[in-house]
Amino acid sequence: MGIVDAQSVKNTDTAREKGYDAGKKVSGIKRHIVVDTNGLPHGVEVTTANVTDRDGAILLAKRSKKNLSKVKKLLVDGGYSGEPFAQEIKKILRAKVEVVKRSELHVFKVLPKRWVVERSFGWLEKCRRLWKNYERKLSTSRQMIMLAFVSVLLKRL
């Protein structure tokens, strides 16, 4: 099982590539990650913030197809709902998409397994360099995320 989510991050003025996420009102980049049930990363993609969560997840699936070859189900939040997205993931990874939605009640409730990916984003937030995007290129931002995850994994040994 894989768990997918995205996080919008503000850019500094040195960043060359940026977009605007109107939903979160952030000018910058968007980090897309897929993690296993332990929160360990199996794929990372960085796009400009104007790329939708669904489109970013499709790019992520294409880039990480080899790492995700054994995944049978992807858990996603409501931002990834829609049959075209599910069909595209099915075509790329041969995996089923399961949308975990909040209840219609206005009370706090931990969503099943969705908290794992949020914890992974929390691990990234411990790296001060990732609080904002300082990198000029998206590929450099992606590598900094990978280095941060390596640091997290080394601390767990």
**Which pLDDT tens digits describe the chain residue by residue (157 residues)?**
999 999 999 998 888 888 999 988 999 999 999 999 999 999 999 999 999 999 999 999 999 999 999 999 999 998 999 999 999 999 999 999 999 876 655 666 666 688 899 999 999 999 988 999 989 999 999 999 999 999 988 987 7
Asked if residue 13 lies in contact with residue 5, where contact means CB atoms within 8 angstroms, the answer is no
* CA 25-2-44 angle, 5° bins: 55
The whole model's pTM is what?
0.90
User: Which helix (DSSP H) or strand (DSSP E) does residue 146 occupy?
Assistant: helix 138-156
Round to whole Å and give the CA distance between 11 and 19.
Answer: 9
Question: What is the CATH number for 90?
Answer: 3.30.420.10
| Phi, psi angle pair for 5, to nearest 5° | -160, 170
* CA 37-39-44 angle, 5° bins: 115
- As for how many domains the chain has, the answer is 1
Among all chains, which residue has been given the structure tokens 């669904």? 54
Range of the domain at 12: 2-156
Q: Is 78 helix (H, G, I), strand (E, B) or coil?
A: helix
